[in-house]
Amino acid sequence: MQKTDFLVIGTGIAGLTYALKVAQRFPEKKVLVMTKAAADETNTKYAQGGVAVVNDLEKDSFEKHIEDTLIAGDGLCNEEVVEIVVKEGPDRVRELIEWGARFDKEKDGDYKLGKEGGHSEFRIIHHKDITGWEMERALLEAVSRQTNIEIIKHCFVVDIITQHHLGYLVTKSAPDIECYGVYVLNLQTNRIEKIITKFTLLATGGNGQVYRTTTNPSIATGDGVAMVYRAKGRIENMEFIQFHPTALYEPGLRGQAFLITEAVRGDGGILRNKDGEAFMERYDERKDLAPRDIVARAIDSEMKRTGTEHVWLDCRHFSKEKFTEHFPNIYQKCLSIGIDITQHMIPVAPAAHYSCGGIKTDEWGKTSIKNLYVCGECSSTGLHGANRLASNSLLEAMVFAHRCYLDVIDRTPESSKISPPAGGGDLSAGLSEEGAGAVPDWNATGTSEPKEMILITQSLKELQQVMSDYVGIVRNDIRLRRAMRRLDLLWEETEKLYESSSLSPQLLELRNLITVGYLIVKGASFRKESRGLHFNTDYPNKSELVQNIVL
Ligand SMILES: Cc1cc2nc3c(=O)[nH]c(=O)nc-3n(C[C@H](O)[C@H](O)[C@H](O)COP(=O)(O)OP(=O)(O)OC[C@H]3O[C@@H](n4cnc5c(N)ncnc54)[C@H](O)[C@@H]3O)c2cc1C
Say how many Å lie between the CA of residue 321 and the centre of ligand 1: 31
Report pLDDT for 417. Answer: 42
The minimum-distance atom of ligand 1 relative to the CA of 208 is 53
Q: What are the Cα distances from residue 168, in Å, to 172, 227, 397, 427, 439? A: 13, 18, 34, 9, 12
Q: Is 292 marked active-site?
A: yes
Mean pLDDT for the chain overall: 93
For a substitution probing ligand 1, which of 204, 262, 333, 507 has the most ligand atoms within 8 Å of its CB?
204
pLDDT at 427: 36
Tell me which of 19-33, 109-123, 485-499 is least confident.
109-123
The ligand 1 atom at the shortest distance from the C-alpha of residue 263 is: 8
Stated pTM of the model? 0.93
Instruction: Average the pLDDT over 390-413 and give the result.
Output: 94
DSSP state for residue 259 in the 8-state scheme: B
* Minimal-distance CA residue to ligand 1 atom 41: 157
pLDDT for res 115:
86
Rounded to an integer, the average pLDDT of 43-57 is: 93
- Facing residues of 380 across strands? 360
**Can you tell me the distance from the alpha carbon of 44 to that of 391, in angstroms, rounded to the nearest whole number?**
12
Task: Give the residue from 419, 457, 546, 444 showing the smallest Cα distance to 498.
Answer: 444
Backbone angles phi, psi at 164, to 5 degrees: -50, -40
pLDDT per position as a tens digit, 273-315: 999 999 999 999 999 988 888 899 999 999 988 989 999 999 9
* Residue 421 alpha carbon to ligand 1 centre in Å: 36
At residue 427, what is the residue type? L
Which band of pLDDT confidence, cut at 50, 70 and 90, is reported for residue 535? Answer: very high
Share of the chain above pLDDT 70, in %: 96
**Ligand 1 neighbours (beta carbon < 6 A):** 9-15, 34-37, 42-44, 46-51, 131-132, 156-157, 203-206, 215-216, 219, 223, 259, 354, 376-377, 391-394, 397
**Which atom of ligand 1 is nearest the CA belonging to 184?**
42
Q: Which of 130, 248, 393, 513 to mutate to test the pocket of ligand 1 (most atoms within 8 A of CB)?
A: 393
451 compared with 31, residue with greater pLDDT: 31
Q: Which atom of ligand 1 is nearest to the CA of 392?
A: 11
Identify the three-state secondary structure at position 353: strand
The contacts of residue 320 (CB under 8 Å, 6+ apart) are 342
Nearest partner of 228 among 527, 516, 548, judged by Cα? 516
Per-residue pLDDT tens digits for 420-475: 333 333 333 456 666 777 899 998 888 888 888 888 999 999 999 999 999 999 99
CA-closest residue to ligand 1 atom 21: 44
pLDDT exceeds cutoff 90 at 67? yes
At 196-215, the pLDDT tens digits run: 999 999 999 999 999 999 99
Please name the residue whose Cα sits nearest to atom 38 of ligand 1: 204
**What percentage of residues in the chain have a pLDDT greater than 90?**
83
Q: Which of 292, 475, 479, 511 is catalytic?
A: 292
Cα 458 to ligand 1 centre (Å)? 26
Q: Does position 106 have pLDDT exceeding 70, yes or no?
A: yes
Choose among 140, 265, 257, 150: nearest CA to 209: 257
Rounded to the nearest whole angstrom, what is the distance from the C-alpha of residue 206 to the centroid of ligand 1? 6
- Candidates 279, 247, 269; CA nearest to 260 is 247
Nearest CA to ligand 1 atom 53: 216
State the DSSP code for 534: B
Rounded distance, CA 534 to CA 111, Å? 35
Question: Residue 414 CB: number of other CB atoms within 10 A?
Answer: 9
